[in-house]
């Protein structure tokens, strides 16, 4: 039975954060029943299609994880989650210890729903803290306060057996002391998992527009590197080891769902703008849903059924994705089997590979290739040369 993950996209937010380039939208009136039915229809159709792509009978997919992302999934009525989980269990064989994650924001209104989420079947919560300082939260356009964030952390820890929190560093003029204080405060709650992301300016965002006009929106690169090294050292001391460029976990607490992405596994993406990947009998299949929530919703029940585009990836694209994702992991990525990507001639640039190994930025053995801490600091540059 092919192992597979499921991503469910809820595209709505209370407000659009200025740094966010995700497919998220502010909406006043949402027909919850209509959205529930459309998401389940998308799941039905994509599951049947996946069985065809993978060459197995219907009902023979082994579902290992489900992730509700967005947008802000904690705005979703819990009954939608319960109904999607019920349908997924009918369509697939589910792992007995299946990881079911939902993202949530720590505003008071959303925190009140946490018990409902747990009862609906969520067993892992990812809490979007982003900052534990009111000034930082205001700069990032967040709707909650630092006090609300700490309250949400306490409630989350009391309800969910597994949980994670997100923080953002690299704000303008951010000091090492400021960042260490936030890390110290959040680790007092003994999280099993933390995601610490560098603030980046993405095209199409409010921050990108302000950046083009000359606004200072991030710390300088040397300071960002120092903040990254501090994160690694401090969290390691707290028992949270780095397992990916931006993710830290206690033993056996890494996000299984995200590991599936980074290890080039199979997953379905349902909802507006969601992506899916399947290593099909014909090659690496890539599906993209329509981004517009209204356009996606209106197309459900038609032959298009929410589809924006689909294709069997070119060998070069599959090759690039394999290394770009796999080298983010501290454990590294296995050397691929001959012809794995459909073109036996594809290989890394050997001159740059040898140079980066000599520098100590890459570590190679007979089984895999991985990055050192110094290599992860330079990963974008390393990849640009390796894949040239």
Helix axes 379-386, 315-326, angle to 10 degrees: 150
Residue 320: predicted pLDDT? 96
Give percent of the chain with pLDDT exceeding 70.
100
Angle at Cα 131 formed by Cα 261 and Cα 117, nearest 5°? 60
Kindly calculate the radius of gyration of the chain based on its CA atoms and give it in whole angstroms. Answer: 21
What architecture does CATH give domain 3-260?
Answer: Alpha-Beta Barrel (3.20)
pLDDT, tens only, 358-374: 999 999 999 999 999 99
Token output for 263: 């290890």
Give percent of the chain with pLDDT exceeding 90.
91
Pairing outcome for strands 3-10 and 62-70? parallel
pLDDT, tens only, 147-187: 999 999 999 999 999 999 999 999 999 999 999 999 999 99
Please give the average per-residue pLDDT across 254-262, as a whole number. 97
Give the C-alpha separation, 365 to 283, whole Å.
28
Token output for 33: 């029943």
Residue 260, CA atoms < 13 Å, CB-side half-sphere: 23
Residue 338: predicted pLDDT? 81
Cα–Cα distances (Å) from 375 to 330, 352, 371, 387, in that order, read: 10, 13, 5, 15
Give the C-alpha separation, 242 to 206, whole Å.
31
Question: Is pLDDT above 80 for 198?
Answer: yes
Cα–Cα distances (Å) from 344 to 50, 91, 174, 226, 340, in that order, read: 26, 36, 47, 40, 8
Residue 212: predicted pLDDT? 93
Decide which of 29 and 134 is more confident: 134
Give the C-alpha separation, 75 to 71, whole Å.
9
Residue 302: predicted pLDDT? 87
Domain ranges for the chain, please list them. 3-260, 324-388
Please give the average per-residue pLDDT across 330-359, as a whole number. 93
Give the C-alpha separation, 256 to 99, whole Å.
7
Residue 176: predicted pLDDT? 97
How would you write the chain as a 3-class SS string? CCEEEEEEEECEECCCCCCCCCCCEECCCCCHHHHHHHHHHHHHHHHHHHHHHHCCCCCCCEEEEEEEEECCHHHCCHHHHHHHHHHHHHHCEEEEEEEEEEEECCCHHHHCCHHHHHHHCCCEEEEEEECCCHHHHHHCCCCCCHHHHHHHHHHHHHHCCEEEEEEEECCCCCCHHHHHHHHHHHHCCCCCEEEEEECCCCCCCHHHHHHHCCCCCCCCHHHHHHHHHHHHHHHHHCCCEEEECCEEECCCCCCHHHHHHHCCCCEEEECCCCEEEEEECCEEEEEEECCCHHHHHHHCCCCCCCEEEEEECCHHHHHHHHHHHHCCECCCEECCCCCCCCCCCCCCCHHHHHHHHHHCCEEECCCEEEECHHHHHCHHHHHHHHCC
Cα–Cα distances (Å) from 261 to 7, 24, 193, 274, 278, in that order, read: 11, 21, 17, 13, 11
Spell out the long-range contacts of 318-322 with Cβ–Cβ below 8 A and sequence spacing 24 or more.
318/283, 318/284, 318/342, 319/343, 319/346, 319/387, 320/387, 321/264, 322/264
Residue 380: predicted pLDDT? 96
């Amino acid at each position: 039975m092919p192992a597979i993950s499921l991503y469910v996209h809820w595209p709505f937010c209370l407000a659009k954060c200025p740094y966010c380039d995700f497919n998220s939208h502010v909406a006043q009136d949402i027909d919850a029943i209509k959205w529930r039915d459309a998401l389940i229809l998308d799941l039905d159709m994509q599951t049947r299609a996946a069985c065809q792509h993978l060459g197995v009978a219907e009902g023979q997919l082994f579902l290992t994880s489900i992730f509700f992302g967005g947008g802000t999934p904690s705005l979703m009525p819990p009954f939608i989650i319960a109904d999607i989980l019920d349908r997924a269990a009918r369509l697939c064989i589910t792992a007995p210890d299946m990881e079911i994650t939902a993202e949530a924001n720590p505003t008071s209104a959303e925190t009140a729903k946490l018990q409902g989420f747990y009862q609906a079947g969520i067993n892992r919560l990812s809490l979007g803290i982003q900052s534990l300082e009111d000034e930082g939260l205001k700069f990032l356009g967040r709707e909650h306060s630092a006090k609300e964030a700490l309250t949400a952390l306490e409630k989350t820890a009391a309800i969910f057996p597994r949980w994670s929190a997100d923080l953002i560093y690299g704000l303008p003029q951010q000091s090492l002391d400021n960042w260490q204080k936030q890390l110290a405060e959040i680790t007092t709650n003994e999280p099993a998992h933390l995601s610490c992301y560098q603030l980046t300016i993405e095209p199409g965002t409010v921050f990108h527009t302000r950046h083009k006009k000359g606004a200072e929106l991030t710390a300088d690169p040397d300071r960002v590197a120092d903040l990254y090294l501090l994160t690694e050292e401090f969290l390691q001391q707290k028992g949270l080891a780095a397992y990916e460029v931006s993710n830290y976990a206690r033993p056996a607490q890494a996000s299984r769902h995200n590991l599936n992405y980074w290890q080039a596994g199979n997953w379905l993406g349902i909802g507006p703008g969601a992506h899916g990947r399947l290593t099909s009998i014909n090659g690496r299949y890539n599906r993209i849903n329509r981004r517009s929530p209204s356009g996606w919703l209106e197309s459900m029940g038609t032959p298009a059924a929410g589809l924006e585009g689909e294709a069997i990836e070119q060998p070069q694209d599959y090759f690039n994705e394999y290394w770009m994702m796999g080298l983010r992991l501290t454990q590294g990525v296995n050397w691929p089997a001959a012809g794995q990507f459909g073109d036996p001639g594809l290989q890394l640039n050997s001159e740059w590979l040898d140079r980066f190994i000599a520098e100590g930025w890459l570590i190679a053995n007979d089984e895999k290739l991985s990055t050192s801490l110094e290599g992860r600091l330079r990963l974008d540059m390393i990849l640009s040369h390796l894949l040239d």
